[in-house]
């Protein structure tokens, strides 16, 4: 099945609630909220939700996290996470989007869902003139910087880590807008330890964009890939 067909499987015309939190949201509070919202979505008592927020500097380890990839446990608080994937960093200047969608009515196809998340990020990056790319065997979205470095170099600009419970998704994506990239040094981020692979951000690539700019782009491209959104009272 080609990518267009994969993406069409996850689209719905029922509006998804779109929410943006100000300040920093504690990670345990975010997880508790998602757990509750997933149960409500499954019960039919709450709509689907995309929740954009920032965390204070933390490391989270997904279900595939390896102890040896936590290089500096004392650098920032470390949390175990039920999402897929390995260790990653969250912090100021990184846009986290927690995606709580009912996949039971979006094709019940996890591969198509992850593909659509990647496409969402790729289209968002295109709004800033960047060519985001997928890589076989490497989840997330990558920027090829080989021509600028004089040798092979590809940097990850967005991470994807999700969990699905009773066909409702949670956790989601993180897009590096303008985080302190040195904060990634306390982990082997996403298990990336190959020569020529690293981490980048919009700012690192010379793109002057605010968090609001990223929010706006994420919302418009989400609607292209997944369907309409709506804002609800706080």
Active site residues: 190
Residue the block writes with tokens 């919202």: 37
Classified as helix, coil or strand, 119 is helix
Q: At what angle do helices 3-10 and 110-126 cross, to 10 degrees?
A: 100
Report the DSSP beta bridge partners of residue 198: 155
For residue 162 the two structure tokens come to: 């999700």
Pairwise CA distance, residues 118 & 124, whole Å:
10
Please tell me whether residue 175 adopts helix, strand or coil conformation.
strand
What DSSP state is assigned to residue 68?
G
Q: Three-state DSSP class for 164?
A: strand
User: Nearest to residue 199, comparing CAs of 139, 149, 159, 147?
Assistant: 159
CB-based contact 94:179 (threshold 8 Å)? yes
Per the CB < 8 A criterion, the answer to whether 229 and 17 are in contact is yes
Closest CA to 150 of 194, 181, 196, 193: 196
Burial class (CB in 10 A: 0-12, 13-18, 19+), 91: buried
């Amino acid at each position: 099945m080609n990518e267009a067909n994969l993406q069409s499987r996850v689209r719905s015309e029922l509006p998804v609630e779109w929410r943006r939190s100000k300040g920093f949201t504690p990670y345990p509070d975010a997880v508790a909220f998602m757990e509750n919202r997933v149960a409500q979505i499954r019960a039919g008592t709450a709509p689907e939700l995309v929740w954009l927020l920032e965390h204070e500097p933390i490391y989270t380890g997904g279900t595939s996290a390896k102890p040896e990839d936590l290089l500096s446990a004392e650098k920032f608080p470390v949390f175990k996470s039920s999402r897929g994937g390995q260790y990653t960093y969250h912090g100021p200047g990184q846009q986290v989007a927690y995606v709580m969608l009912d996949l039971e009515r979006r094709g019940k196809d996890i591969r198509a869902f992850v593909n659509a998340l990647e496409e969402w990020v790729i289209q968002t990056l295109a709004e800033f003139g960047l060519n985001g790319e997928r890589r076989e065997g490497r989840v997330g979205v990558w920027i090829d910087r080989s021509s600028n470095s004089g040798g092979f170099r590809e940097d990850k600009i967005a991470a994807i880590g999700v969990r699905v419970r009773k066909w409702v998704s949670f956790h989601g994506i993180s897009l590096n807008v303008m985080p302190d990239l040195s904060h990634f040094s306390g982990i082997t981020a996403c298990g990336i330890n190959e020569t020529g692979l690293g981490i980048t951000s919009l700012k690192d690539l010379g793109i002057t964009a605010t968090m609001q700019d990223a929010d706006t782009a994420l919302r418009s491209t989400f609607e292209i890939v997944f369907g309409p959104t709506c804002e609800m009272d706080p």
